[in-house]
Structure 1
Amino acid sequence: MEGAKDLKRLSLTPQARLEHLDPIVCELWHLKQDLLEKLFKRFFDKKSSSEPGTLSHLKTILKKSDVNGKVKSNFRAHSDFINLIITEMIVEQAKEFVTNGGFDNLVPDNITAATKGTKTRVRDEVMNKFMNMYMYNENDNDTTRETSTEPDELYNYCCQLCQWGLHFMALDNTASEGDIMRVIPNLMKCIPFLFSHSKLSKYLVECLDVILKCKSASTLTRTRILEGFFVNRKGGVGKNVEADLVQEHFVRNQKELIRGLGANKTDKAILRVTGAANAISHILEDLDTNLKIPTRRGHHSPDSNEKDISAIRQCFREIHPFKVTPGRKCSKFKFGTPEFKVNTEQLLSSLETIIQRISNGLVADEDDEEQ
């Protein structure tokens, strides 16, 4: 879109110059989809289905045939699968934390009778210790953590998977709550994840572009940008969705109506039918609801149930993925450390180059895979 505005810069009227399309920012749902796709490329391998604790192995246990690593073809199935796995992994981390004496010397015996301030302090200390133990805290300089010459590859794999998955869940929660205060921190946190896949990532550039625009914009413009990311179509707390997802549904409805016109359709007919796309869609939805016609889906994606949760917990209790076992192998994934890291010097160098290009009004280079 920025390139289109550059081409129209010498037009005679403001409308022809597309001045009303400002500011142009990234689309959060597409960013979330891209992050999930990169997560599966990093942690999902069909050949690792025989290795307990990996995503492919857990997918096989749950018989999720629609989870195949192709996120764009079935986003919902992959999203639900990751949310379930990461939630149960955090539960397993909490169990190991308690087993290893995570509460020792932190929780007094009479905690139930303590004041509110004492309970808050103890809670913060316990959570900080838990976050440090599993490398969730940034800039963690804990030198007391045990190290081994023989890395535990499964432990490293699961810890890094949790760090990626928890950020994906944070993006999901931010959208549902419509929390504009978390948008910029989430975009900043996305940068190293996207950079680890490719320094020419399209959405890496988009994240930087939004951050720079919000930083340089006025308070009113900044608020307009952030509030424009989310839409609440039906009302209710926690019922927000990304604005670009709503637009995707709108475009889909338009395409279905245009396809129904058949051959030899005129421009006037297309404009007339697409102008009523939303109204027609609502009428059809209400009709299906009244007639109790189930929604047609291209993929069978049943919701997770207690049986799935029990199967995952039983698997984790057998292998103890978060109990450090030096020398334990995970042949398809060779992660040297449990903490996700990127080369800071290369990251800063790439960011400086991208920021310079954005400041000059140039479209940054993109990876061919991202286009």
Structure 2
Amino acid sequence: MENKNRDYHFFASDFIFDRVNVDTADDTSSLKNIEKVTWKNFVPSTEEDQLYKQSLKVLLGRIMAKYVSKFQWMKSILPTHIPHTFDDVMSQRSDVCWLPVMLKNEAFYSDCIHIMKAYESQVIQWYTKSGRACDQQSKLYKRFYKTSSGRDKGTLFNLKLNIERSNVNGNVKSRFEAHEDFVLTVGNAYFLSFVMHKFGMDSLDAEPKHPLLKTNIKYMHNKQTEDIFEHIISEIIQDLLCIFPKEEPCMLLNVEVLNTSLLVESQWDEGILKFTLRINNNNIIFNVTPEQAKRGQTIDLTVCGKRVPVRVTQTHSKAQDDLYNYVMQFLQWFFIILTFKDAIKEGDSDRTNITLKFCIPVFFGHSVLSKYLEECIDYILKTEIVLSQKMSLKVRYGSFVNMTGNKGENKATDMQKENEVLVLKELIRGLGSNKTEKAIISITKAAPVIQNIVTNFDKMVNIYDKHTYHKKRSMEGDISVLMKKLIPLNIWTPTPGRTLENFQKIKKSPHDIDRAHFKGIIMGKVNRLKRGIPVPTALSDDSDSEKE
């Protein structure tokens, strides 16, 4: 390390003991036949949709109980923690052993060999002696946050100006917490504005209007209130949630015949669009391919000996409501973030995988070159198909660590690693300017012991970490301000023709994508990943062009 003008890349890692008992799990074969993988393995199934909805019912119920005074009766029936298969195990404290850093770069195959060899040596030594959330929000801001949209009322940038969030600039990685807090604030405000609209309320303290809501509801037995809650929250989920359609959606076609334009909804039949028209008292079935419909296709008919041309083109002529679509699509992202955050805290791997499947069409809609799309597909491919049951459990539940041993206090393993790296960097800086590679490795080996000694000493002499306290904006206050701006916009009363200058023709659902292209891209990436070929770094795109 003689060259002082060179940047050196060190590889830091740790060893985490399994909390989930995998001794009886099968380790002889893959979970599924890799040769029978289809694109459907990477989007939510019907059962997974239901689990996602059940999770959202609790998460949205918590928001209603917190901010709407007349729904506080929900608090008594909402669980503090959403149960899952290994909730007891994931409440146990994680045992994390730090490994010494290595002057290796994991981006090179040769260095990876050295890293694995070092792991092997370290494990043998121990045996002898003992006898990925920021990324998704970056995409969200690229989709919904435009500094030119200050005049588009109800959009992110417009609302940011109204509550004076000067620390939100669209660069998520520079100020992650500020941007996350703003997304949650706006998401809560959008959702609460829908609640007010649905229940005919003019303020968050007004009496909600619904046939099932009685004035004495807070005095009812839990069984009765649970039934009422289930009915009400199911209505809300039905109105707000957009899931990935299991069947090909109908395509709206514009049909021109005999100087008359007709709007026709076609039906899919084995990749062909079919629709029926009654011409001269005859029912005629038309067949066109999606490609023909997109570019326009003329079909010649012979009626009573005369040629009758029929022009068929795909259309979106139903007038859109850009503001309604903008808010609806934002809420789909908001729901994913809510579910992700809660699933990680609970250490719920099932919900994490389901949420990743909801993310895959979203990232595809952003860009087919998105590295996050590739990572989601790779994780699902490995943990649900390629790996054995034993290794899958190790990977899935090794993605979380719990440093306190309390329920609902798990966090992502890579976040814990980032915290450890901060400690390592501080120790390395303490070596001075003439440090050697051997000295760096030695000090990082002792890092956990040094940290424990320092922590215990500080506790004994009552020395506490010095923090700079910054005044945090009140989410309740900001939501109140946002509600005053959103209510007059009548977002939830669809207004055909209402436009946003910077978000024209934005789609209602992030799952409204070119399905044929989606299937091809998914299977192309899967086939490459099956051969162990990662996405080339040069092709990975984080600043790709926006798709509406």
Shorter-chain TM band:
0.7 to 0.9
SS of residue in 1 equivalent to 2:541: helix
- Give the 3 Å change call, closer, same or farther, for CA 302–117 of structure 1 in structure 2: closer
In the alignment, which residue of structure 2 is the partner of 1:181? 350
For the aligned residue pairs, the C-alpha RMSD in angstroms reads 3.8
Asked which structure has the greater RCO (Cα within 8 Å, sep 6+), the reply is 1
Q: Alpha-carbon deviations, 1:164-210, whole Å to 9, x = none?
A: 12101211111111112212111111101111111122121111112
* Aligned 8 A contact 1:250 1:277 in 2: no
Show the 5 A alignment for 1:125-274: 125-139=231-245, 149-215=318-384, 216-274=386-444
Separation in structure 2 between the aligned mates of residue 290 and residue 39 of structure 1, nearest angstrom: 44
Separation in structure 1 between the aligned mates of residue 119 and residue 423 of structure 2, nearest angstrom: 25
Deviates more, 1:340-349 or 1:274-283: 274-283
Show the 5 A alignment for 1:245-324: 245-281=415-451, 283=454, 287=458, 290-291=462-463, 294-296=466-468, 302-324=472-494
Q: Alpha-carbon deviations, 1:338-366, whole Å to 9, x = none?
A: 22222111111001100100111211345
In the alignment, which residue of structure 1 is the partner of 2:212? 107
Offset of 1:74 from its aligned partner? 1.4
Q: Which structure shows the higher helix fraction?
A: 1
* Aligned 8 A contact 1:10 1:17 in 2: no
Match of residue 348, structure 1, among 519, 527, 533: 519
In the alignment, which residue of structure 2 is the partner of 1:26? none
Offset of 1:85 from its aligned partner? 1.5
Q: Alpha-carbon deviations, 1:255-305, whole Å to 9, x = none?
A: 2322332322112221232234345556369849944554258xx672434
Deviates more, 1:116-125 or 1:204-213: 116-125
Separation in structure 1 between the aligned mates of residue 369 and residue 457 of structure 2, nearest angstrom: 45
Separation in structure 1 between the aligned mates of residue 501 and residue 473 of structure 2, nearest angstrom: 31
Separation in structure 1 between the aligned mates of residue 405 and residue 381 of structure 2, nearest angstrom: 31
Separation in structure 1 between the aligned mates of residue 457 and residue 150 of structure 2, nearest angstrom: 43
Separation in structure 2 between the aligned mates of residue 368 and residue 206 of structure 1, nearest angstrom: 11
Matched, 1:80 2:181: yes
* Aligned 8 A contact 1:230 1:243 in 2: yes
Deviates more, 1:124-133 or 1:73-82: 124-133
Show the 5 A alignment for 1:26-105: 30=132, 32-99=133-200
Offset of 1:68 from its aligned partner? 0.7
Q: Alpha-carbon deviations, 1:43-76, whole Å to 9, x = none?
A: 0012222332111122222222211111111111
* Aligned 8 A contact 2:427 2:447 in 1: yes
Q: Alpha-carbon deviations, 1:212-265, whole Å to 9, x = none?
A: 212232222221111101111122221111000111111122123223323221
AA aligned to 1:79 is E
* Aligned 8 A contact 2:371 2:541 in 1: no
Instruction: Pick the structure with greater CA Rg.
Output: 2
SS of residue in 1 equivalent to 2:187: helix
Q: Quote the sequence identity (%).
A: 28
Offset of 1:118 from its aligned partner? 7.2
AA aligned to 2:517 is Q
TM value normalised by structure 2: 0.57
In the alignment, which residue of structure 2 is the partner of 1:27? none
Separation in structure 2 between the aligned mates of residue 253 and residue 154 of structure 1, nearest angstrom: 47
In the alignment, which residue of structure 2 is the partner of 1:369? 541
- Give the 3 Å change call, closer, same or farther, for CA 285–331 of structure 1 in structure 2: farther
Report how many residues are paired: 353
Deviates more, 1:335-344 or 1:131-140: 131-140
AA aligned to 2:541 is E
Offset of 1:35 from its aligned partner? 0.8
Separation in structure 1 between the aligned mates of residue 112 and residue 420 of structure 2, nearest angstrom: 31
AA aligned to 2:397 is E
* Aligned 8 A contact 1:136 1:163 in 2: yes
In the alignment, which residue of structure 2 is the partner of 1:16? 117
Q: Alpha-carbon deviations, 1:135-184, whole Å to 9, x = none?
A: 434439999xxx99332211111111111121012111111111122121
Offset of 1:38 from its aligned partner? 0.3
Offset of 1:117 from its aligned partner? 7.2
Offset of 1:368 from its aligned partner? 3.9
Separation in structure 1 between the aligned mates of residue 352 and residue 120 of structure 2, nearest angstrom: 25
- Give the 3 Å change call, closer, same or farther, for CA 243–285 of structure 1 in structure 2: farther
* Aligned 8 A contact 1:131 1:137 in 2: no
**Runs (5+) with no aligned partner, structure 1:** 21-29
Separation in structure 2 between the aligned mates of residue 186 and residue 134 of structure 1, nearest angstrom: 17
Separation in structure 2 between the aligned mates of residue 99 and residue 271 of structure 1, nearest angstrom: 65
* Aligned 8 A contact 2:322 2:506 in 1: yes
- Give the 3 Å change call, closer, same or farther, for CA 165–62 of structure 1 in structure 2: same
- Give the 3 Å change call, closer, same or farther, for CA 140–225 of structure 1 in structure 2: closer
**Runs (5+) with no aligned partner, structure 2:** 1-10, 12-104, 122-131, 202-207, 251-315, 544-548
- Give the 3 Å change call, closer, same or farther, for CA 140–97 of structure 1 in structure 2: farther
SS of residue in 1 equivalent to 2:177: helix
Offset of 1:94 from its aligned partner? 1.3
* Aligned 8 A contact 1:8 1:16 in 2: no
Separation in structure 2 between the aligned mates of residue 138 and residue 207 of structure 1, nearest angstrom: 16
* Aligned 8 A contact 1:103 1:126 in 2: no
- Give the 3 Å change call, closer, same or farther, for CA 212–262 of structure 1 in structure 2: same
Q: Which structure shows the higher strand fraction?
A: 2
Separation in structure 1 between the aligned mates of residue 112 and residue 445 of structure 2, nearest angstrom: 30
Separation in structure 1 between the aligned mates of residue 158 and residue 505 of structure 2, nearest angstrom: 18
AA aligned to 1:62 is I
